[in-house]
Amino acid sequence: MGFVNRFVDISTRSTPFRTLAMRKLLIRWPIGDYIVRLTAGAVVRPSYGLCLYQAAESAKALGFTSITAIEVGVAGGNGLMNMCKHAEEIKKALGVEIRLVGFDAGDGLPTTSDPRDVTYYWPAGSFKMDRPALEKRLAGRAELVIGDVADTVTDWEAPADAPLGAVLFDLDLYSSTKSALRLLTKTNVLPRIWCYFDDILGYPINAFADGSGEREAIREFNLAPERTAMRDILSPARVFKARNPEWWHQQIFLYHRMSHTSYNTNISPDKVQERPLAAA
């Protein structure tokens, strides 16, 4: 029954079977330009790739040759390793260097009694890191910042020549996510920061809803007086008009810092856009 159940699952998904099969093949044997495969979802963790690519493209339009991208909630390290692969492809495609940083406590999820932390699903101690093994695999391609994120993000700042352009949130808990969102308020950032939130969508067993977890952290972040006064906002990204809907599209957000000195700088590839009247 295992094969039958798997066949029924795959053959009844909204994404056509031929598309799923082609993606598997292109992941195994990548051909064609990276951006084409990324747009087609034929890469591992396209959500990660999209955030990094779009941040790098925006940075390039603003005259930067490097940016910083962060994953908060590294756990075993699969996500950070994936970011390394995307960063290599993006440098080839755009010529923009991506400095990668991973924040994690190192010893798994903390003990918490706050019901907003979804403790009915996330047990303390989950997702411990094998730091020596991960550092060996990373081989200097990314920096690890170990400790309570509430403390480690306080004094962190992106290098002067590599503004923060993307933050991928995978901290599970409301409290940790609330602390990590302070990264978006740092001084050296792009006018728009691409964000991914792993735990705003789930399955019935997760029972994710507004008022707890990452969703509540985002809501409170947006309601802070210092952001409402400047009209800075963290919002779901409305950027997928050209593609068929994918579930992970709902997990992509954009932080618009409208108070940024370069926010109004034009980055359109067509600096002068014209639509002449069509011939009769």
* pLDDT tens figures, 63-83: 999 999 999 999 999 999 999
**Section 107-136 average pLDDT:** 93
**Section 39-46 average pLDDT:** 93
Ranges of each domain in the chain: 44-256
With cut-offs at 50, 70 and 90, classify the pLDDT of residue 4: low
User: Which two structure tokens, joined as six digits, stand for 52?
Assistant: 């990094």
How far apart CA 231 and CA 119 sit, in angstroms, is 33
How far apart CA 53 and CA 165 sit, in angstroms, is 10
Range name among 8-12, 119-123, 155-159, 275-279 with the lowest pLDDT average: 8-12
pTM of structure: 0.92
Q: What pLDDT does 276 receive?
A: 83
Checking if the pLDDT of 271 tops 80, the result is no
Q: What pLDDT does 270 receive?
A: 74
Q: Name which of 252, 249, 247, 254 is nearest 202 in CA terms.
A: 247
Q: What is the pLDDT of residues 82-105, one digit of tens each?
A: 999 999 999 999 999 999 999 999
Q: What is the pLDDT of residues 200-237, one digit of tens each?
A: 999 999 999 999 999 999 999 999 988 888 889 999 99
Q: What pLDDT does 278 receive?
A: 84
Q: Phi, psi (5° rounding) for residue 51?
A: -60, -45
How far apart CA 56 and CA 65 sit, in angstroms, is 8
**Section 150-155 average pLDDT:** 95
Checking if the pLDDT of 23 tops 70, the result is yes
Element of type H or E holding 218: helix 213-223
**Beta-bridge partners for 101:** 70, 143
CB atoms within 10 A of CB 12: 8
How far apart CA 177 and CA 117 sit, in angstroms, is 10
With cut-offs at 50, 70 and 90, classify the pLDDT of residue 59: very high
Q: What pLDDT does 11 receive?
A: 67
- Could you please state the CATH topology (level 3) that the domain comprising 44-256 is classified under: Rossmann fold (3.40.50)
Amino acid at 190: L
Q: What pLDDT does 8 receive?
A: 67
